[in-house]
Amino acid sequence: MSAPPPGSTWTSRTSKGSSLYGITYGGGTFVAVGYGGTILTSPDGVSWTARTSGTSNWIEGVTYGNNTFVAVGEGGTILTSPDGVNWTRRTSGTSNTLHGVTYSNGLFVAVGRNGTILTSPDGRSWTARTLGTGNWLVGVIYSNGLFVAVGRNGTILTSPDGRSWTARTSGTGNWLSSAIYGNGTFVAVGEGGTILTSPDGVTWTRRTSGTNNWLYGVAYGNNTFVAVGENGTILTSP
C-alpha cells in the first residue's frame, strides 16, 4: 500500500489557547503568532513556548528570511526578531492591517487591507508599493519559482515574477488565510478547517482536516506541515 499523499493526514496538538493566525519555520524554530500579540515558538511543532511580543495588537502573519523573523498585523504592526524569542517593533508607514508577509530574492513583501503592499530588504525599513487592486489578499508566499497569494472567497492567484498574476480555481468559496510549499506540495488553509493541496499551485484538491475551526496559518519544516488556527488549534501532517 502506498503512503498517503503529503498534507492529507493531520494530528491535533496542544497550545496555549489563544487563536493563532500565522506560522513560519526558520533557523530550526517554528514561530506561531496570533490574538493579542501572542507569539509561540517550538523546535518540533509539538511542544510550544510563549514569548513576549511587546504589543497587544493581533499578529496575523510571520515569515523568515535573511536570518530574520518578520511578523505583521493589526494597525500596520511590524515586528522583527533574530531568533523568535526577542522582538523589536518597526515603523511600517501604514495604519492598514497587514495580513500576510513573505520573503524571496532578498525582499520581504507584506500585504494587507485595501490593497496595501509594503516591501523591505531587511525587515527594518519599509516602502509602500502600488498593487493596482483594493481586494484583500490575506496571505502570500514565494516557493518553487512561483508567488502564490490567497484571500477572500477562495481566491488563489499565482505569479512567476510578482508582477503578472493569474487567477486559479480553488474549489471553495471559503476564505483562505495562508499557504506554504514543502515536500513537493503547496498547502493552503482557511475558513471552516479548509485545507487544499496542489503539486504546482495551479490544480488544487480539498483535504479532510478533522476540524471546523478556522485555520489561519501553515508552515513546513523538519519534514512536517503545521497548521494553526482558531481556539488554539494546531494540526500536523507529514
- Whether 214 contacts 195, CB under 8 Å: no
- Predicted pLDDT of residue 27: 95
Average pLDDT over residues 62-73: 96
**pTM, two decimal places:** 0.71
Query: 16 pLDDT exceeds 70?
Result: no
On whether the 11-237 domain is CATH 2.120.10.80, my answer is yes
Model confidence pLDDT, tens digit, residues 28-66 = 999 999 999 999 999 988 889 999 999 999 999 899 999
DSSP 3-state assignment of 189? strand
Helix, strand, coil fractions of the chain, as percent rounded to 5: 10, 50, 40
Model confidence pLDDT, tens digit, residues 167-212 = 899 999 999 988 999 999 999 999 999 999 999 999 999 999 999 9
Pairing of strands 195-198, 205-207: antiparallel
- Predicted pLDDT of residue 130: 60
List phi, psi (to 5°) of 195: -135, 125
Mean pLDDT of the chain: 89
- DSSP letter at 191? G
Please compute Rg for the chain using Cα positions: 16
CA-to-CA separations, 166 to 45, 56, 83, 109, 130, in angstroms, rounded: 33, 36, 35, 18, 18
- Predicted pLDDT of residue 76: 97
Question: Rounded distance, CA 120 to CA 109, Å?
Answer: 7
Beta bridge partners of 3: none
- Whether 140 contacts 100, CB under 8 Å: yes
- DSSP letter at 162? S
Query: 131 pLDDT exceeds 60?
Result: no
